[in-house]
Structures are given as structure tokens and as C-alpha cells.
Amino acid sequence: MAKPNSREVFETLPVGKALYTMVMPTIFSQIIVLIYNMADTFFLGRTNDPYMVAGVSLLLPVFNISIALSGLTGVGGGALVSRLLGEKREDEAKKVASFSFWLAFAMIAVFSLGMFLFIGPALRLLGASDDTFVYARQYAFCVIVLGGIPTVLSNVLSNLLRSVGLSRQAGLGITMGGLINIALDPLFMFVLLPKGREVLGVGIATLLSNCISCGYFLLVYRAVRQDVALRLSPKIGLPEKKSIRSVFNVGMPSAISMLLFDIDYIVIDRLMAGYGDIALAAIGIVLKAERLPLNVGVGICQGMLPLVAYNYASGDHRRMQKTIRLSLLVGLLVGAVSITLYEIFADGILRVFIAESRTVALGSTFLRVRCLATPLMFISFFTTHVFQGFGEGNRALFLGVVRWAVFNIPMLFLLNALIGMNGLVWAQVSADTLTVILSFSVYGSYVRRRFPKPEKTGQNG
């Protein structure tokens, strides 16, 4: 890894090596995040209690809302920091980093307080039944009410570190938090707390691991603040109004897309709850199990974004386009491999989480269908990340809103009405096929206008 004050990863490393340097730590940390998210379900599955599994699964949309808040400032601020560095404006980059951090702190503090005050109605809205309510409440109090601030700040800080080329340090913090969570889960569930309190144990383990991860990031910032264009002190002052608008212009599409993604999950849960708690538990496991290739894809996009943003701003569009093409190719290969593995091993994957036969049978059927959307989903959020790197928030917002509000969510209601429970499972493939067609159309049109090929001036060009 280059020294913190080096621009080598952005400017001189071969594209493949630069992408590897930025992407691999991010992919690894995303996999660890997925593993610790699935570890909760895995350990709860050892109880063979589908109500515990369903109760925790209900909170996934709420947890993702907090991640959406970190995306607003982390993605928006991080992408802008990379572009400002490409323009050689380090002082403004420092102000943007500080603004992004404190804005994230304020937003998640308000959200956590709201969840504390209205936790009961919120859980009923999510579809909690009398059998799952107490478990969902325990998990929400630990992970959202108490753990919201360290969770969001960890994600914002990791994005800002990545924006200046410190992908290894960013990945290490997320990875460390995930590994600690995995270690603490069984300790609190089966050793320290009495039987029946397993969900509370999972929540406490998640809270503590996120606090430790956040503490690590703060120590890293303290260690590198003299060498990189990042500051967290509010005393540095506010960035320019143009920069503040840019943070929201790029970050808002990320947050809105995540919120619409959450609504999509809420709709799935609500509609699937109509088919019983077993179906709800099955889809809850599938929605986590299918995340492996998607988290790898997110890692590719997160590692790619600072490289695209920096080279876009510096004017090295050839290097930028090479980065985009290579990232897309790698993501599609991951999607193709994942489809093959999920189709073959769906039953075994479900049994890793729960042994209850009805949940396994239903969940394996769900997984074999939903995995078909993996490459389509990658292309959808890949295109959005590229536009975020360009600073084209309007186009990113358009694609995100259309994907979820026009295609995905209406498709759930439509196919549920037409073919019932199986329609809920096929909706993702159907909707993302339309999204990919639209994404390629919008991206192709933009590239032709923004980066036209030079006209040939003679026989030899």
C-alpha cells in the first residue's frame, strides 16, 4: 500500500493493480460484514425457533435505513473528497470530510431517538406478530437505538478513508468489527445470558463490535490526519456552498436508493407474512444468503468509485474508462459464478442456518429463483456508483428511483396478485431486467456526449 500522502494509487499504478489495491480490502470487509450479519441468523437458527429468526429478519430494513444515512454523507462526501484531490484542492477536501462526519452524527442521533420513542408502532408496521414482537424489540433496542451512532460513523469514516486511497485501513476497521461480532455472538447467546434471551445476546454482541470498530476508525484518523486531506474537527469551518450541494447531490441518490431498497424489503416481508411465519423466516434467510455476491459487488463498486472520481476530476479519462470496464467485467464474473453455486447448493445453504424442514424446503426454492438476478443487480448499482463518481447525482437519483419505485416495488404487488407467493420471488429478476436496459441506455447516452471519440482527420487518423 502506498504511503498515506502518496497519489500513486490514483495516478501511476497500472489500472489493474490500482483497482486490486482499492477493491480487495473492501471486498474482504464486505464479506466479513455479510458473515457477521448471517452469523446472527446462523446462531439463532441453532435454537430451531423460526420466530426468533423472523423477529431479527424484520429489523433488516430499519438497519439499512441507518446505513442509508451513512451513505448520504459517506458516499456523497467521499466521492467529493476524491474529486477535490483530483483538482488539487486539499483544503476544501478537509472541510468536506469534517462536514460529512458531523452531519452523519446529527442525523443518526435523531433517527435513533425516534426509534426509541416509537419502537412499538414501528415494529408493528414492519409486520411483527405477537410471536415475533418481543424478539424484534430486543434486537432493535441494541442495534438501532443504542448502536445506531457507532454503526453509522464507522461506515462514514471508512468511506472517507477510502476516498484518499486508504482502502486497507478502511477495510481493516470493518473487518475487525465483523470478526469481533462473530466471536461475541455465541458468548452472549449461549454462555452469559439465560435460555430464551438469545436475540438479546445477538443485539449486545452487535452493539459492542460496532463501538469497537468506531473507536478503531477514530484512532486511525488521529494517526494519519497530518498526512492526508481529512479532518474531523468542526473548527476547520464549513466547505463552500457548492461543495455542500455536491455532497447532497451525490449522497442523496445513495440514501434514497437505500431507503427505497428498504421499502422493497418491507413490502416483501409484509406480503410474505401473509403466507405465514415459516415463509417469512425462509425469505429472511434467503435475503441474507443471497447477499454474498452482492456484497462482493458492492466492494468492487466502493473500491472503484474513488478511482473514477479522482481521474474524472483530474482529466485522465482514459484511465477512468479502463477502471470502469475492468470493474464491470469482474463484477459480472462474480455474478455468473454465484448463480452456478446457488443453483447447486441451495438446500445445503439453507441448512447452514436452520434445520427445520419446512423452512429449508421453501427457502431453497426461493434462493434458486432470486439468485438469477445477481448480475442484473450488480449492473444496476454499478451504473449508479459510476455516476456518483462523475458527480452526476441527478442521473444516479433517476436510476435509483426508477429501479425501486417504478420497477421493483410495483412488480412485487403485480406478481403477488397474479401468481401469489412465487410472484414475490420472481419480482426481482423481472424488475431488474428492465432496470439494466434503462441503465445501459442512460449511461451510453451520457458517455457519447461527455467523452466523444476524437474524429479522424486523415487516412492514418
CA distance to 190, 414, 423, per residue, from 186 (Å): 6, 41, 36
CA distance to 73, 75, 337, 408, per residue, from 25 (Å): 21, 17, 21, 31
Question: What DSSP string describes 338-387?
Answer: HHHHHHHHHHHHHHHH---HHHHHHHHHHHHHHGGGHHHHHHHHHHHHHH
Q: What pLDDT score was predicted for residue 270?
A: 83
The contacts of residue 269 (CB under 8 Å, 6+ apart) are 57, 58, 61, 126, 127, 280, 283, 284
Q: Which of 426, 445, 339, 341 is nearest to 387 (CA)?
A: 445
Question: What DSSP string describes 161-173?
Answer: HHHTT-HHHHHHH
What is the average per-residue pLDDT within 344-359?
83
For the packed helices 277-289 and 60-86, what is the interaxial angle rounded to 10 degrees? 20
CA distance 233 to 118: 33
End-to-end CA distance of the chain: 40
pLDDT in tens, 151-210: 899 989 998 998 888 888 888 888 888 889 888 988 998 888 888 788 888 889 989 999
Q: What pLDDT score was predicted for residue 454?
A: 57
Q: What pLDDT score was predicted for residue 6?
A: 53
Structural domain boundaries of the chain? Answer: 8-444
pLDDT grade for 52, boundaries at 50, 70 and 90: confident
pLDDT grade for 455, boundaries at 50, 70 and 90: low
What is the SS3 assignment for 75?
helix
CA distance to 322, 439, 451, per residue, from 444 (Å): 15, 8, 10
CB 298 within 8 A of CB 331: no
Global pTM exceeds 0.75: yes
CA distance 26 to 307: 13
Statement: residue 358 has pLDDT above 70: yes
- CA-based radius of gyration for the chain: 22
Grid coordinates in use for 86?
483530483
pLDDT grade for 458, boundaries at 50, 70 and 90: very low
Q: What pLDDT score was predicted for residue 290?
A: 84
CA distance to 5, 101, 266, 306, 335, per residue, from 69 (Å): 29, 11, 18, 19, 27
Grid coordinates in use for 356?
427445520
Contacts for 419-422 with beta carbons within 8 Å, 24 or more apart? 420/275, 421/272, 421/275, 421/279, 422/369
Q: What pLDDT score was predicted for residue 216?
A: 93
Higher pLDDT, 336 or 1: 336
CA distance 16 to 178: 28
CA distance 368 to 26: 27
| Alpha-carbon dihedral sign for residues 264, 213, 308, 376 | negative
Q: What pLDDT score was predicted for residue 5?
A: 40
CA distance 286 to 347: 11
The contacts of residue 302 (CB under 8 Å, 6+ apart) are 23, 26, 30, 159, 162, 385
Which residue, chain included where needed, has cell 438501532?
144
For the packed helices 291-314 and 277-289, what is the interaxial angle rounded to 10 degrees? 40
Judged by average pLDDT, the poorest of 47-61, 176-190, 289-303 is 47-61
CA distance 374 to 294: 7
Judged by average pLDDT, the poorest of 263-277, 323-337, 368-382 is 263-277
DSSP 54: H
Q: What pLDDT score was predicted for residue 386?
A: 92
Q: What pLDDT score was predicted for residue 85?
A: 86
Residues of the chain with pLDDT > 90, as a percent, come to 25
